[in-house]
Structure 1
């Protein structure tokens, strides 16, 4: 398969991938394949054998944790250029540690893990590039998780609502969440009492609406929440 497959990536990521794959092995070129994945499909399941490396070419996916109580916890969105299964292989872990759910329709490149690791053993430049990228990703995610943990309730709710709104493509004029308060609370890591208080706060700020108990995110409210998070939380 030719490196034309990377043409749909953003320019900076396309250049990175072309550099990364310039000396990949014949086995990788022969066995890598493209998958078309519809929205809302779990294509990596935590705990299953790590047999392939996945790379997102287009679309968005969500990382999902499955703790011991067996309730899912969506924790981060990923997009074009992101790899999955690679860290597990580098760490010598036999199974995927998180589940990956397609938030939108996606095109995904897959490479058998055995072929990928044989390539990494032989190509020191590619190994360095991927080690550097993975270290940056792990450090960034740790910092983000720590920041998220200490956010005020309303800010954590904003971050979650922004993510849900951005998953809808094309973006609607308003988005009514079909989830129950219990489901939302579990996804964010709140008690229902804390969630209700945070919803009331955002409603009073004019950022969201509540209709028959359901949270509604107007597009203007989405923009305002995003500006607030970027300025007061991430700034």
Structure 2
């Protein structure tokens, strides 16, 4: 009954691919009806900041469709895009588990997004009354923090082209379709994601193109499976990867 009710509460699920639908079904497997009754669906345009660091946590957000990014502006006011979310993950869930009253990061939409909004009080009640949900949320939070920590340590030592290559390989693993990853990000967006300056990004992109590690199609950068594997080998020669 609950799964049928989930599709009534979130009708856009029928538009998702099978894998993503299954992720939602697994995430909300034990969700009670009163929680699903609290869901609000909102469509946000690209480039919208919908959570700001240090503001009160009143709502937990889950991305239904689209992609968002976590951005840090604390150092010299420079935007650093340190994590992207396109899976089933509760933004604000970490703050709930850690009893934090304010969001610890700023969140912006990378694409047009369909988001699920859940009142904090309802989400917190669910975790307190469902051990499976609490364990699931703790596991997702731990995986996120582990990935973020590992990436941050790697970026600390990588410079220039190596750092951009690591970013490209990570993005390929997550977003490639039919063995091709199409990058439509501007040079400024790549700078914010890598922590490099635009001038360094331009030099690295030219280097990759000269070496055949990327291809161009109009304003887009393309990375094929073969190019990804070569770039991955380059990154692995510097950073030991699992």
Q: 1:217 to 1:150 in 2, by over 3 A?
A: farther
Report if aligned partners of 1:60, 1:104 keep a CA contact under 8 Å in 2.
yes
Alpha-carbon distance in structure 1 between the residues aligned to 2:143 and 2:27: 17
| Residue-pair matches, total | 225
Report if aligned partners of 1:58, 1:80 keep a CA contact under 8 Å in 2.
no
Alpha-carbon distance in structure 2 between the residues aligned to 1:14 and 1:178: 31
1:119 aligned partner: 126
1:228 to 227, 230, 237: 230
Q: What is the DSSP-based 3-state SS (H/G/I as helix, E as strand, rest coil) of the residue aligned with 1:56? A: strand
Report if aligned partners of 1:8, 1:57 keep a CA contact under 8 Å in 2.
no
Displacement, 1:86? 0.7
Displacement, 1:128? 1.4
Q: Does 2:87 match 1:80?
A: yes
Report if aligned partners of 2:68, 2:108 keep a CA contact under 8 Å in 1.
yes
Task: Note the 1:1-235 alignment, pairs <5 A.
Answer: 2-4=5-7, 5=10, 6-160=13-167, 179=187, 185=191, 187-190=193-196, 195=201, 198-199=204-205, 201-207=207-213, 218-219=221-222, 226-233=228-235
Q: What is the DSSP-based 3-state SS (H/G/I as helix, E as strand, rest coil) of the residue aligned with 1:77? A: strand
Instruction: Give the superposed CA RMSD.
Output: 3.7
Displacement, 1:99? 1.2
Q: Which structure 2 residue ranges, 5 or more long, are not aligned?
A: 176-180, 236-240
Structure 1 window deviating more from structure 2 (103-112 vs 193-202): it is 193-202
Q: What is the DSSP-based 3-state SS (H/G/I as helix, E as strand, rest coil) of the residue aligned with 2:46? A: coil
Scaled by the length of structure 2, the TM-score of the pair is 0.74
Q: 1:44 to 1:229 in 2, by over 3 A?
A: farther
Displacement, 1:150? 2.9
Report if aligned partners of 1:208, 1:217 keep a CA contact under 8 Å in 2.
no
1:170 aligned partner: none
Q: 1:87 to 1:154 in 2, by over 3 A?
A: same
- Residues 82-110 of structure 1 deviation map (CA, whole Å, 9 limit, x = unaligned): 22111011111111111111111111111
Alpha-carbon distance in structure 2 between the residues aligned to 1:174 and 1:134: 29
Q: Which structure 1 residue ranges, 5 or more long, are not aligned?
A: 168-172, 211-215
- Residues 49-106 of structure 1 deviation map (CA, whole Å, 9 limit, x = unaligned): 1111111111111111121422211112210312211101111111111111111111
